[in-house]
Amino acid sequence: MDVNGASVAERVRPAGPPGDNDRLLRRLRDGLPLVARPFLAIGQAIGQSEAGVIAAIRDLVETGAASRFGIIVDHAALGFTANAMVVWDVPDERVDAVGAALGGRRGVSLCYRRPRRPPVWPYNLFTMIHGRNRDEVRALVEELADGCGLAGLPRELLFTVRRFKQTAPCYGRDGRE
């Protein structure tokens, strides 16, 4: 599913010492067990204390290895079946402020800056926008343009047609997240 746009695949398993942390990360792939004390259950499975598991997860988030810890929703299952990579040509002196403003807006899963490659590629700001259908995506783009100071700037919507491949990154070892 193209929920996270091209860049979700750029995510990788965090670097860290092998051993306990690796075992914890492998456990976390499948998510927390849905029991009253999930961190205790994980700890019992890998030989760590409940407090140790909680501290290790907090560390993942605080060091930035994990972008978040929470409920990972499947947008397609929730009806968000239309999505587009929306690209914008934002003046360099404004792009950081605009990028920061776009993040966290409704329907925006990713926002990042990449280089322009004139003349074939004039856009420097990339967003992934999700909606229940293409009209909703178009409406969200208008809303973002008006709300984040992007009205009138060159932009294009690249609707997703199909996915050929989406796998975890490979680094020559088990790199699955």
Partner 1 sequence: MDSIRDSSDPTDRRLLDEFQRGFPLIPRPFAELAARLGSTPADILDRLRRLTAAGAVARVGAAFRPHRVGASTLAAMAVPPGDMVRIAALVGGFEEVNHNYEREHRLNLWFVVTAADGARVRAVLAEIEAATGLPVLDLPLERGYHLDLGFPLWT
- 177 contacts partner 1 (rule: CB under 8 A): yes
Q: Cα–Cα–Cα angle for 70, 75, 79, nearest 5°? A: 140
Interface pick for partner 1 out of 44, 114, 133, 151 (rule CB under 8 A): 114
Q: In which residue are the tokens 């259908």 written?
A: 133
Q: What minimum distance in Å lies between the beta carbon of 63 and partner 1?
A: 9
> Can you read off the two tokens belonging to residue 21?
């942390």
For residue 120, the one-letter residue type is: V
Judged by CB under 8 A, the number of residues near partner 1 is: 89
How many angstroms separate the most distant Cα atoms in the chain? 58
Q: What minimum distance in Å lies between the beta carbon of 84 and partner 1?
A: 8
Q: What minimum distance in Å lies between the beta carbon of 144 and partner 1?
A: 12
Q: Is the peptide bond prior to 119 cis by the omega test (within 30 degrees of 0)?
A: yes
Interface pick for partner 1 out of 108, 137, 141, 144 (rule CB under 8 A): 108
- 170 contacts partner 1 (rule: CB under 8 A): yes
Site for partner 1 in 73-92 (CB under 8 A): 73-75, 77-80, 84-85
Interface pick for partner 1 out of 58, 135, 146, 147 (rule CB under 8 A): 58
37-43: long-range contacts, CB 8 A cutoff, minimum separation 24: none
- 118 contacts partner 1 (rule: CB under 8 A): no
The C-alpha atoms of residue 141 and residue 92 are separated, in whole angstroms, by 20
